Structure 1
Amino acid sequence: MSARDTPNSSRSGGHARVEVEEDEDRRRPDASLAGVPWDESEQEDEHKVINEEYKVWKKNTPFLYDTLVMHALDWPSLTCQWIIELPSLGAVKSSKQALYSQIKTMRKEVSNSSGPYGHYAEIRAELRAHGSREARIRITQKINHWHEVNRARYMPQNPDVIATQTTMGDIYVFDRTKHSNHPDADGECRPDVVLRGQTRESYGMSWNSLKKGSLVSASYDTAVYEWLDLQQYSKMSGNIESVRKYQAHTEQVEDVSWNQHNDHVFPSVGDDKMLYVWDTRSPTKPIQDTVAHDQDVNATLALRDLRNIKANLHSFEGHRGSVMLAGWSPSYETVFASVGDDGRVNIWDAARIGEGQTPDDAEDGPPELVFVHGGHKSKIFDFGWMVLVPWGTGMILLAGE
């Protein structure tokens, strides 16, 4: 992505974090069927707007991206993540019955031709050939999985170990090196370990990047659960009970994330609008708390400092609906992405807060909004930054587009 200049800083430590607000319309493929149905004419108008926006986006893709690869899945998917697997990059994706581990083989080195816009011809050629062998996604492994995969995340210290959130509350852990590249013909799901403790399903889940084998999960049963030493697992272990249960939320917990600089600290957010910060050394109550947002849906993100999380340092405004996810770039310390149910992935740079703008620029959004990835015809449920490609991301959509 190259809508504006790329920051020249590298990813480093810091105190700031971003939390997002959620809505009650969950990330199920059939979630839109819940509640009061739209008026038919209103729905038709909405579809017309979406289709028109898609046409505009598609026409301008050569000017927006260095590389664009699209892949249609057989089933709707709720999760994706890039795996660091040199020399290739991988993506973990889920379908209704299987966990996909897919290797992305994509040719990308667009050289600048003569003139400031000469290289667009080469980009257009690559976009037209996005289905060719040089630029495509291919499935390299399928593993059977019971029901839907709400979320899939690999262990940072060992990307072959993948944890999946299920619709039943249990968390499955797979070591993909111990499974065939083709799913078992009997259709049975055979996780290497089952993590017990949650009584309801969940989406939020985070591996500890500083402590191998430590995992926390945000559950719809209003609690956060922790498991330790999962690197010691074996199939003989069978089920592993959680070692700690963190209880403070009064409604379902939506997300949780380990601190990248302190292996004892993690925040959690829930539908009770609360943001809690926990320390594993004193698990009976959170060490900090604040009301993160005052409304269920306000289409904004809040920037806070962990030294005083009650103060909202800045509100990022740019989405037209609920904000579902946010994630810091692994390459630039001030850059993060947010995903909304408006079908947008917004790229933000906190270093540009307060920069001057011309009236024309201001019409496109605040200075910290550096790129808007559109073109989606349905809600986005997950995204992931590419670690080895600074501005590369991957998205999974409701319709598996």
Structure 2
Amino acid sequence: MEPMEVEPEVVQMEEDSPEVTTSIDEQTQRGYRIWKKNAPFIYDYLSTNSLLWPSLSVQFFPDVTHINHKESLESEETQESNEEIIAQRLLHGTFTLGQAVDSISILQIPTFKNLNQNIKINKLDYNPDKEELEFSPSSNNKSKVLQKINHLGDVNKVRYMPQKPDIIASANNLGDVVIYERTRHKSFKNSLIDDTDISKAEIRLSNSILPSKTDIFALDWNQNQEGLLLAGDMNGVISLYDLKEYSTPELEQCRYFENDTGINDIEWFPTHDSLFSTVDDKGTVKIYDTRQNDAVICSQKISEHGVDSISMNPGFSSGIATGDSQGVIKIWDLRAFKQSSQPVKQMNAHTDSITQLYWHPKYSNVLASSSSDHSVKFHNVSNEETCFFTHLGHMLGVNDFDWSYADDWMVASVADDNSLHVWKPSHTVTDRFKTA
């Protein structure tokens, strides 16, 4: 990868991803070193963190804390400088395949509101082993674990309720969906002895008619009606739960739907409380209306391959994006979806399966995608040349990513190489999207 011809920006790398991992081939490791040397030219911000286990989920909490402080140093110039730090919280879970006790964690990721104005050149340390200058963040600017909730089975998907972020739903590899009330669980404390007791869930959700015994990867909260949760398993059973009906620690489905193959992804329409869509292993997109007895109002086979991800455009109500196991992204207009199986746009975006798609929450023509090919890409779907930025810092497949609430272009991503990256492309790349 050649360096981009832009003005270099200071990059914060808090804790490097591993240089050598037994499952990572030499070519990938060499590509990572090239990427890291070029990183100051292509990012306004970059923080790489090594996790103990891979994560399949990551999500920014909506709250943003602003912290103003002055460093207590002798320099008068430093004493007069005011550093504004933004503290963001991140939700993620472990994927250990039974090798350890799994857990859901809440991390605090602090960043300078304006990183480049707060970098002090005299604090750059030369690392002779890497032959690089490194910025060593202060203790106020390091990531930390705020809370850890021990979890039964792999954390396949974890998401908080939009209306009440302290309510967290998690799905595992055993067919379980559980609800945790974060404030009822203790904060994280460093200890020489690991706490291995499974944390008790506040609510266990179950389908009393077709109980799930397999992986659940599809999980989504309704953004418009509090407490509505959808879960789809790899046997094709979709369960709808209404937490307003909660009265005992066991809550049964208020409705369920059957599909003829596994559900890979599920998503409520962002502007509706009754419509949702699914994609499955047979390459089919289905749209459901929970108000109707025959809930499937549209079913369209869009690929000969499995479709792994779907995303509804929050800024354009009839726009959806789908990503399949071959790395192909298709953009659809729901107004013509029943009449035509032809997408509005098709992009051969990745060389391996699409793992996640998310439209930008503010710019309706920007779509981000992650893939098993180790990359996260930003696409401008209104242009012929769609991809305008690629994050290549992960050395194994990227499982999930999320947009930050604090910054229009900040993203968190997690991958199979145990890495968690928080990053922001150079403003020279994103300034074109500024609104008047």
Question: TM class by shorter-chain length?
Answer: 0.7 to 0.9
Q: Deviations over 1:191-246 (max 9, x none)?
A: 11111124122111111100111111121121211111x2564xx61111111112
Aligned equivalents of 2:414 and 2:294: distance in 1?
A: 37
Residue 92, structure 1, aligned to residue 91, structure 2: yes
Q: Deviations over 1:139-175 (max 9, x none)?
A: 0111111121111101000111110011111111111
The letter of the residue matching 2:363 is Y
Shift in CA distance, 151/288, structure 1 to aligned 2, threshold 3 Å: same
Q: Deviations over 1:293-343 (max 9, x none)?
A: 123443211101112223311112221111121111112112121111100
Q: Is the 8 A contact 1:268 1:276 kept in 2?
A: yes
Secondary structure at the residue paired with 2:239? strand
Corresponding residue number in structure 2 for 1:259: 269
Q: Is the 8 A contact 2:64 2:405 kept in 1?
A: no
Pairing 1:236-275 to 2, within 5 Å after superposition: 237-247=248-258, 249-275=259-285
The letter of the residue matching 2:294 is T
Aligned equivalents of 1:250 and 1:369: distance in 2?
A: 35
Corresponding residue number in structure 1 for 2:28: 50
Shift in CA distance, 46/240, structure 1 to aligned 2, threshold 3 Å: closer
Of 177, 188, 198, which residue of structure 2 is paired with 1:171? 177
Corresponding residue number in structure 2 for 1:290: 300
Corresponding residue number in structure 2 for 1:104: 109
Shift in CA distance, 220/345, structure 1 to aligned 2, threshold 3 Å: same
Deviates more, 1:295-304 or 1:61-70: 295-304
Shift in CA distance, 111/190, structure 1 to aligned 2, threshold 3 Å: same
Aligned equivalents of 2:141 and 2:289: distance in 1?
A: 45
Pairing 1:63-74 to 2, within 5 Å after superposition: 63-74=41-52
Secondary structure at the residue paired with 1:55? helix
Pairing 1:16-27 to 2, within 5 Å after superposition: none
Aligned equivalents of 2:305 and 2:386: distance in 1?
A: 23
Aligned equivalents of 1:337 and 1:145: distance in 2?
A: 30
Of 155, 158, 173, which residue of structure 2 is paired with 1:152? 158
The letter of the residue matching 1:289 is S
Pairing 1:213-362 to 2, within 5 Å after superposition: 213-228=227-242, 230=243, 233=246, 237-247=248-258, 249-296=259-306, 297-309=325-337, 310-352=341-383, 354=384
Aligned equivalents of 1:134 and 1:102: distance in 2?
A: 14
Residue 385, structure 1, aligned to residue 391, structure 2: no
The letter of the residue matching 2:59 is Q
The letter of the residue matching 2:411 is T
Deviates more, 1:298-307 or 1:281-290: 281-290
Secondary structure at the residue paired with 2:225? coil
Corresponding residue number in structure 1 for 2:313: none
The letter of the residue matching 1:332 is Y
In structure 2, list runs of 5 or more residues that go unmatched: 7-21, 66-86, 97-101, 126-132, 307-324, 420-436
Aligned equivalents of 1:45 and 1:158: distance in 2?
A: 39
Deviates more, 1:383-392 or 1:184-193: 184-193
Higher RCO (CA 8 Å, separation ≥ 6 residues): 1
Aligned equivalents of 1:124 and 1:344: distance in 2?
A: 29
What count of residue pairs does the alignment treat as equivalent? 339
Q: In terms of Rg, which structure is larger? A: 2
Shift in CA distance, 187/288, structure 1 to aligned 2, threshold 3 Å: same
